[in-house]
Amino acid sequence: MNKKWECYQPDSNKVDELIKKYDLNEILARILVNKNLTEKEDIDLFMNPTRKDFHDPFLMPDMEIIVDRILKAIEGKEKIMIYGDYDADGITSITVLKSFLEERGLEVSSYIPNRLDEGYGLNKEAIKKIYDDGYRLVITVDCGISGIDEVDYANSLGIETLITDHHEPADTLPNAMAVVDAKRKDNKYPFNQLAGVGVVFKLIQAISMKLNLDEKQFLKYLDIVCIGTISDIVPLVDENRVIAKLGLKLIAQTRNIGLKALLEVIGFTNIDSTAVSFGLAPRINACGRMGDEQVALELFLSKDFAEAKKLALKLNEYNLERQTIEKKIFDEATEKIEKNEKDNTCIVVGSEGWHHGIIGIVASKVTEMYFKPSILICFEGEDGKGSGRSIPGFDLHEALMKCSKNLEKFGGHSMAVGITLKKEKFEKFKEEFEEYAKSLEIDKIVPVINVDSELSLKNVDIDSVKSLKLLEPYGEANKMPLFMFRNLKINSIRSLSDGKHLRLTLKDDNYMINAIGFNMGELAEEYLIDDKVDIVGNLDINSFNGMESIQIILKDMRKSY
């Protein structure tokens, strides 16, 4: 698939100024200018944030109210129910708040709805059970902002609800005692992109300030807060960057027994944002996807290493099971697509027996593979549940609003949605959705690769590549830098791992560099030795037998013209 490469063109005067003023290399200076970081204060905040860089939590809406109510609960020795979500953000949110409040002497329980039976968010059956169990104070974490009817029901039972959330609110807020969400229209907090666990962190910071506790009493949870933040794919800028940067340092020396056990089971030696995104997060999420959401929470709350090790191994097993099911669904879905859907503007496929806790991941892979909006639906009897993912330039939620007459319900945002529909309405919905996508001519949308800088091999050295570590942690809104190289000659080319990956040696005059393209093995048949190519990729250091060398992790390649 042809992709459009768009390269930043930074102001060369600003680049030169940064190089001279702060003794930076040219590659790093260019990227900082791209990010509009040209003042020392902003550069220092980005490169080396400290605990002094957190915003005042009391600027959040209703923070005073929720803190005062919790302090009253502490004084009165009330028991509290924390109502959370089954994903990594929700699990870490419960872990942090429960642990912190128990240290303040409170009796705290938690409720996580089952993903497969109850779905996301507050539900009345759960609230009734919480009431029957004798709880009269509920704090939501990573959910609750959309629970208008559910909060009204809780009020009717005499339950007080305190909401902490980070999702978009509707025009009407739930009638809770407090609604702490920086996305509220009346918000004055300077950053509204925190994860759910980030909002919880601000809550325990605020309580600590009111109680005049040492900063360590809330800062010690940054390892768990960091995991939830990176896992939820929120933008790693501003306060999220402070959380991630400080939290990653704490993970390496964590005192959380469950986290220690999980790190040991995974076997990662380098703890960075990639280790969280591809090592920790999938395992924490796997238990919720498989309908056993309590395992990850028990792990992080465990006080016994032997028990924690068993729970960590269980998470690993769930993740392996998830991977097996995911591959099966992906293979079945792509077979259907290749047979009937390949020429369609968008992809809508369904099947009996697909696991609805996993189809969202598969929809992401399908969308990435075909660069088309995709919706995958699993049928159980006459009912269908689905997940959809979109491409930049196509608002999937708006599309469902236009095609809602054949749906039972739907929710989500521009890039990801969940839907339910009757099996008998599937074909009608599919036709309507395809017609709508066609009317917007989304087949003309070309995927864009945003390139940070164009380089030549002679300008790249090991020290410059190592300096890029100052830009970590990478994540949403702070992607690993991409570089473009033009007119390189292929010196050697071959596929690896039974044709799956690509290995290249590239040459520019007397300069040589190795490159590897994961899942790009088919290109070995399209290019020959001595072909001239342009490439886009990340710069990396490869260590082997005590020797370090620069390599390029390929993202795209085309013939030079």
Q: What is the pLDDT of residue 412?
A: 79
Query: Distance (Å, rounded) from C-alpha 370 to C-alpha 347?
Result: 9
Confirm whether 146 is domain-assigned: yes
Q: Which domain holds residue 80?
A: 53-251
Q: What is the pLDDT of residue 117?
A: 84
Query: Are both 481 and 436 inside the same structural domain?
Result: no
Query: Are both 67 and 166 inside the same structural domain?
Result: yes
Query: Are both 519 and 413 inside the same structural domain?
Result: no
User: Does the pLDDT value for residue 518 go beyond 90?
Assistant: yes
By percentage, how much of the chain surpasses pLDDT 70? 100
Q: What is the pLDDT of residue 193?
A: 95
pLDDT bracket for residue 120 (50, 70, 90):
confident
Maximum mean pLDDT: which of 41-45, 240-244, 466-470: 240-244
User: Does the pLDDT value for residue 152 go beyond 90?
Assistant: yes
User: Does the pLDDT value for residue 1 go beyond 80?
Assistant: no
Query: Are both 423 and 477 inside the same structural domain?
Result: no
Q: What is the mean pLDDT of residues 544-556?
A: 91
Query: Are both 74 and 153 inside the same structural domain?
Result: yes
Residue 27 CB-density burial (10 A; 0-12 exposed, 13-18 middle, 19+ buried):
buried
Q: Which domain CATH number covers 437?
A: 3.10.310.30
User: Does the pLDDT value for residue 13 go beyond 80?
Assistant: yes
pLDDT bracket for residue 367 (50, 70, 90):
very high
Confirm whether 526 is domain-assigned: yes
User: Taking Cα atoms as reference points, which of 374, 325, 329 lies closest to residue 351?
Assistant: 329
Q: Which domain CATH number covers 127?
A: 3.90.1640.30
Residue-wise pLDDT tens digits, 220-272: 999 999 999 999 989 999 999 999 999 999 999 999 999 999 999 999 878 89
User: Does the pLDDT value for residue 302 go beyond 90?
Assistant: yes
Q: Facing residues of 494 across strands?
A: 503
Q: Which domain CATH number covers 459?
A: 2.40.50.460
Confirm whether 527 is domain-assigned: yes
Residue 195 CB-density burial (10 A; 0-12 exposed, 13-18 middle, 19+ buried):
buried
Number of structural domains (the chain) is 3
Query: Are both 104 and 233 inside the same structural domain?
Result: yes
**Mean of the per-residue pLDDT values for the chain?**
94
Query: Are both 88 and 181 inside the same structural domain?
Result: yes
